[in-house]
Amino acid sequence: MIEITEEEIYLPEMIERARSKDAGAIVTFLGTVRDDGIEMLEVEAFREAALAELRAIEKEAMSRFSLKAVEVAHRTGSLAVGESIVAIVCSAGHRQEAFSGCRYIIDELKKRAPLWKKERGVRGERWVGHDEPAGK
């Protein structure tokens, strides 16, 4: 399952969906808002394009690393320090495939998905990671 949501991410449900009899490994990645002197992180997405890109990344990872299942959930909206931003779950026959697939997905997501983050704090606000979204 691939989703972009304003709701909290429930990692145990994602793990359960990734389980299978032929998967000997399940690897998870949970990205959270870290305290870099910020008060809030605003996450925006070009939803349709981001979902399409995440599905393409999922397909690539499934093929390249022989994954049994992939789950990706990315949050949007206002997030406080400590809240989850993104969760990735990969299952595979062996741990190396699951680890490699999970790393590939987060690395490609950061490079390719039209998702933007704006930090807000006492020093003002700034876009991080990608260029500012069009029209902002």
What are the tens digits of pLDDT across the range 74-124? 999 999 999 999 999 999 999 999 999 999 999 999 999 999 999 998 888
pLDDT digits (tens, 9 = 90+) for 24-57: 999 999 999 998 889 999 999 999 999 999 999 9
**In the structure, what pLDDT confidence band is assigned to residue 126 with cuts at 50, 70 and 90?**
confident
Strand, coil or helix: 63: helix
pLDDT of 1 higher than 50: yes
How far is 136 from 134, CA to CA, in rounded Å?
6
Buried-exposed string 93-118: b where 16+ CB fall within 10 A, e elsewhere: eeeebbbbbbbbbeebbeeebbbbbb
Domain ranges of the chain: 2-121
CATH of domain 2-121: 3.90.1170.40
Is the separation of the CB atoms in 91 and 26 below 8 Å?
Answer: yes
Q: Residue 87: exposed, middle, or buried by beta-carbon count in 10 A (0-12, 13-18, 19+)?
A: buried
